[in-house]
Amino acid sequence: MGEATWRDVTILWARVSDMRDFTAADLAQMGERQLARSRQLSEDRAAAFLAGRALIRDVVSRLGGGADIRLDSRCERCGEDHAAPKTPGFVVSVGHAEDLVAVAAARGTAALGIDVEPNHAAGRVAELGRLFAPAAVPTLAAWTRIEAAIKADGRGIAIDPSAVRMQEEPQTSDQRLWSVVLPGAVSRLQVTTLPGPVGFTLSVARG
C-alpha cells in the first residue's frame, strides 16, 4: 500500500490482489446496498470494488471517522447505486486502473476527485486528439488532471473534456498546481499531479 497527502487530502493506493482480506461481510457493514451492488459485478470488477471500499474504510478511519463507516452511492438522478460513494462528514473519490485502486478522502463536503492511469496509456490518450482539435492533445498527466476535475465536479460525462480550462498557478513550492474552470461551474477547482504508484500517473482535484 502507498500513500500521499496534498492540502487536507489523504490518498491511499494498493493493488487489488493485495486487498483480498476485505470480504463481503465487511462490505455489508458499509450498507446492504453496497453488497447488492458488488453482486451485480463480474468477478474481477467485484474484487476491484471491494478493494476500493477497503481503502475507503482505511483512509476515513485514519482521518478520524472510526471503523464503522456507512456508504451511500445512490445516483441523485436515477436512484441506482453507481454514483461516487458518500459518507457523513467526509468526501471521497475512487480511481481504478488495471490492478490498482486509489482513494482520496478529506473531511467536509468540498469537491474532491481522483484519477489514476497506467503510464502506457499515453498512446490511448493521443488517440483522443480529435476531441481536442484544433488544440493540442493533452499529455497523460494533463489528461488525469482533467479527469480528476470532472470527477470532483460530479457531472461526469455531461462535461466535454475539451471544454475544461486549466491555468497553472505561480509556483511557490515543488508542487505544481493548476486552477480549473469547468463549463457551467460557479466555483474553481485546484488540481495537481502527485508522486504516486510506480508505473502510474495520479492526479487529485479539490474544491
Kindly report, residue by residue over 83-92, the tens digit of the pLDDT.
Answer: 889 999 999 9
Kindly report, residue by residue over 144-154, the tens digit of the pLDDT.
Answer: 999 999 999 98
Mean pLDDT of the chain: 91
Kindly report, residue by residue over 90-108, the tens digit of the pLDDT.
Answer: 999 999 999 999 999 999 9
Q: How far is CA 157 from CA 153, 161, 162, 190, 196, in A?
A: 11, 9, 12, 20, 25
Q: Where are the domains of the chain?
A: 1-109, 110-207
Q: Smallest Cα–Cα separation from 101: which of 91, 92, 109, 89?
A: 92
- Homologous superfamily of domain range 110-207: 4'-phosphopantetheinyl transferase domain (3.90.470.20)
Domains 1-109 and 110-207 share a fold: yes
Predicted TM-score (pTM) of the model is 0.91
Q: Does domain 1-109 have CATH number 3.90.470.20?
A: yes
Kindly report, residue by residue over 116-174, the tens digit of the pLDDT.
Answer: 999 998 888 888 777 887 778 889 999 999 999 999 998 887 888 888 989 999 987 78
